[in-house]
Amino acid sequence: MKKVTTIILLVCVSLSYAQKKKINQEVKKTPVDMNAFIDELMSKMTLEEKVGQLNLVSVGFDITGPIVSQNVEEKIQKGLVGGVFNTFTPIAVRKLQQMAVEKTRLKIPLLFGFDVIHGHRTIFPMPLGLAATWDMGAIEHSARIAGDEASADGLNWVFSPMVDIARDPRWGRVVEGAGEDPYLGSLVAAAMVKGYQQNDLDASNTVMACVKHFALYGAAQAGRDYHTVDMSERTMMQDYLPPYKAAIDAGAASVMTSFNDINGVPAGANQWLIKDLLRKQWGFDGLVVSDYTSLLELIEHGISADEKEAALDALLAGNDMDMVAEIYLAHLPQLVKEGKVTEEHINFSCRKVLEAKFILGLFDDPYRYADEKRAQQILFKKDYRDAARDIAGKSMVLLKNENNTLPLKITGSIALVGPLAKNQRDLIGSWSGAGDWKQAISVEQGLRNAAPGLKINYAKGANITDDTLLIKRLNAHGGNLEIDDRSAEEMIKEAVEVASKSDVVVAVVGESQGMTGEAASRADIGIPGKQLDLLKALKQTGKPLVIVLMNGRPLTLPWEHANANAILETWFAGTEAGNAIADVLLGNYNPSGKLPMTFPAHVGQVPIFYSAKNTGRPHNDQLLDKYKSRYLDVPNEPLYPFGYGLSYSPFTYSDVKLSASEMKEGETLTVTCTVKNEGSRDGEEVVQLYVRDITGSVTRPLKELKGFQKIMLKAGETRDVQFKLSANDLAFYRFDMSWGTEPGKFIVFVGGNSRDTKQAPFTLVE
């Protein structure tokens, strides 16, 4: 075991937006002081009115759970509602806001929240696709546009970003996050918060971000939504919590607790999670809200005996606001009378809600987000669609390109086949909220827009699925599956005929948007339905086969990888999906995306991620040793590793050079690698830096991402890419759970993905 060298880290906790607002007011000599204002307001409030501020109700067009709030107008007028979920548009928001500020005793305005996940009206690639850009500027820009549109559409609070680390692609909500890695996930989380809030929540074109789901939701057992989470403290702190902390440090003004239990206690009733970790250790001073009816679900978890006890458990744990369940409204006043809850508990949470409203400027102008003229000017404007197209292109990952099958020629003919080739609804993905799928550009339309001289021969070829039970389940939740009544054989026959008279086959296949997202876990993560049969029949024609994938999770693609000539992962790319896909297929954009999550070769490998431990009996797939950590029937290696992605330009890497062979605490090690574009096209490459700590007081991962740079290289250009490694990059939670480094041997890796790297050793000395 190594001798421990301690690093003393000075952690600078970000100022809350309440603190920033107060500072700004003092600088401007504004007469209104937030604390004094809220003190005076709360002195006038009854207990029932204070509890009313903790009540978040659902009204509107998009109900995401089984309970719809009742008698909302009456409750608003009695001052028993603090915020409204699922209502947007300036007209609808103004109507409800008028009830609050014109018909209530104290005229306290409402918050208006909505699931703005990857765009509001203009839809960007799904969050996992955004992460695949490895471009923090682009990700922040997408959130900035989403915030601009949402605030113009009556909203001031968005339930995003989702920052849950996920390493099991069976879980449907991997679509909403940034994948498996805490370093990449932390950068994405911070970029999203900055995009929404712009460090200025007093501006009418910004919105309050809500970090979710706190915490560890992405580690649900068996990849099944809402399931139990059980992990060691070290794994929690090292791998799963960093993105939440990064979002808090970026200034996120609110946090949403998760559905799952943690160490046997559901997040909504977990005092350690909310009070100790979030508030005391991390210094979070904003608003904490539950997820949809999750406080009511404390009963089903077996923590609370009834609604009244659930309200007690949740409030004492630190949940300020109750989303939709309305158990606070029903039971907190009585709990105060019984002495089980003090009015100080109510005051604390009420103050957090009122602070959020103050910070957003709602007490100055409750209608500042209900401007119809601004909505007409802002929503869905051309600049935003152009940005959506650009970012969608950056999100796409070229998984295979045998013999330069891509890019396609803009003349000749193609067979455009597959259930997603003409599809619009699925392009904007799950959690597309206010997005209008009828505005989405299909792949067929995108190709026609980009290459009018290209002859397109179309056949659907297959349904996304023919499973009648699955179809019913999906359509019951707005899946809108388009099902062709013809037999699978008839549809495949037509597709083969179309392929036989074309130069190349482009098969657009994958999942429907309803197969990913909340309550959309899948045990089999291959391409569903008869689509694989379709691909096999198309392969038999002998024509080059290009597979265009649409999906919200990593898929198992062993046959596809072995048999397709080219595979392009496009995720659910948003409003401009078809145009962006055409840009890549035709070579107008050189693909640069990299996988933010490992693609397994077989579902039996799950969970699979690049930063796994070595084990005491590591297995090399090239060897036949029996007593090793391996499977008998499939290899250990994934199909596509984390960070993987090809380009139309081949990039080569030189050997890694280090500025020194030894590094001391307080020093910086410079890592240099020369990257060359060997192709005839300009292209972007994500140069990735990984580190391995060879020995430690606890076992360490095989690799950990510690840096990356996305660079543009002209055809034939060579560039030295440098990284600076500090002691903090080598720190971890040691045996005693202290954070710091240990002296010893390390290996640094540089490459275009987590598998294919160049490496060099160095030593950290005392």
Q: What is the C-alpha separation between 213 and 216, in angstroms, rounded? A: 7
| Structure-block tokens of residue 40 | 């005076």
Look up residue 220 and give its amino acid: A
What percent of the chain has pLDDT above 90? 90
382 contacts: CB under 8 Å, gap ≥ 6 = none
Label residue 575 left, alpha or beta by phi (over 0 means left) and psi (-120 to 50 means alpha).
Answer: alpha
pLDDT at 6 over 90: no
- Rounded to whole angstroms, how far apart are CA atoms 561 and 595? 16
Query: Please, which pLDDT band fits residue 141 given cuts at 50, 70 and 90?
Result: very high
> Contact, 748 vs 691, CB < 8 A?
yes
Summarised one tens digit per residue, pLDDT across range 20-31 is: 444 344 333 345
For 686-739, the pLDDT digits (tens) are 999 999 999 999 999 999 999 999 999 999 999 999 999 999 999 999 999 999
Q: How far, CA to CA in Å, does 671 sit from each of 21, 586, 719, 763? A: 41, 37, 14, 13
- HSE on the CB side for 80, CA within 13 Å? 19
Contact 293, 311 (CB under 8 A): no
Separation of alpha carbons 238 and 258, rounded Å: 19
C-alpha angle 714/717/720, rounded to 5°?
120
Closest among 287, 351, 25 to 159, alpha carbons compared: 287
Alpha helices in 171-269 (DSSP H): 182-197, 233-235, 242-249
Give pLDDT, residue 11: 34
Type and span of the H or E element at 709: strand 704-713
CA distances from 565 to 399, 406, 407, 740 (A): 10, 9, 12, 48
Mapping DSSP onto H, E and C, the string for 85-151 reads ECCCCHHHHHHHHHHHHHCCCCCCCCEEEECCCCECCCECCCHHHHHCCCCHHHHHHHHHHHHHHHH
CA distance 549 to 572: 9
CB distance 215 to 228 below 8 Å: no
pLDDT for 295 equals 98
**Amino acid at position 136, single letter:** M
Q: Determine the pLDDT at residue 541.
A: 98
What are the structure tokens assigned to 174, written together? 């991997």
Q: Where are the alpha helices (DSSP H) in 401-545?
A: 443-450, 468-476, 488-500, 531-539
Identity (one letter) of the amino acid at 343?
E
Active site residues: 291
Q: Cα(91)–Cα(97) distance, rounded to whole angstroms? A: 10
CB 413 within 8 A of CB 585: no
Q: How far apart are CA 136 and CA 195, in angstroms?
A: 10
351-394: per-residue pLDDT in tens? 999 999 999 999 999 999 999 999 999 999 999 999 999 999 99
Q: Looking at residue 32, what is its pLDDT?
A: 81
Alpha-carbon torsion (267, 268, 269, 271), positive or negative:
positive
Which amino acid type is present at position 206? T
pLDDT of residue 481: 82
Centroid of chain to Cα 532: 28
Instruction: Look up the CATH superfamily of 651-765.
Output: Immunoglobulins (2.60.40.10)
Q: How confident is the model over 78-84, as a mean pLDDT?
A: 97
Per 3-state DSSP, the chain is made up of helix, strand and coil in percentages (nearest 5) of: 35, 20, 45
Per-residue pLDDT of 240-279, as tens digits, reads 999 999 999 999 999 999 999 999 999 999 999 999 999 9
How much is the pLDDT for 61? 52
Give residue-wise pLDDT tens across range 173-213.
Answer: 999 999 999 999 999 999 999 999 999 999 999 999 999 99
Hey, which bits of 484-632 come out as E strands?
504-510, 545-550, 566-569
For residue 386, how many other CB atoms are within 10 A of its CB?
13
CB 757 within 8 A of CB 751: yes
Q: Using one digit for the tens of pLDDT, what is the confidence trace for 465-486? A: 998 888 888 887 777 788 899 9
pLDDT tens for each residue of 144-181: 999 999 999 999 999 999 999 999 999 999 999 999 99
pLDDT of 64 over the 60 cut: no
- 426 pLDDT more than 60: yes
Between β-strands 265-266 and 261-262, what pairing exists: parallel, antiparallel or unpaired? Answer: antiparallel
- First CA to last CA distance, the chain: 15
Task: Work out the number of other CB atoms within 10 angstroms of the CB of residue 91.
Answer: 11
Q: What is the pLDDT of residue 233?
A: 96
540, burial (CB in 10 Å: exposed 0-12, middle 13-18, buried 19+): exposed
Q: How far apart are CA 449 and CA 431, in angstroms?
A: 27
Same topology, domains 386-601 and 651-765? Answer is no
Tell me which architecture the domain covering 386-601 has in CATH: 3-Layer(aba) Sandwich (3.40)
Buried b / exposed e across 729-766, counting CB within 10 Å, b at 16+? Answer: bbbbbbeeeebbbbbbebbbbbbbbbbebeebebebee
- Sequence spans of domains, the chain: 386-601, 651-765
Backbone angles phi and psi of 212, in degrees to 5 = -145, 165
Strand-strand pairing, 757-765 and 657-658: unpaired
Token pair recorded at residue 333: 């006043």
Peptide bond into 213 cis (omega under 30): yes
Whether the Cβ atoms of residue 271 and residue 213 lie closer than 8 Å to each other: no
Q: Contact at 8 Å (CB) between 7 and 333?
A: no
DSSP reduced 3-state for 638: coil
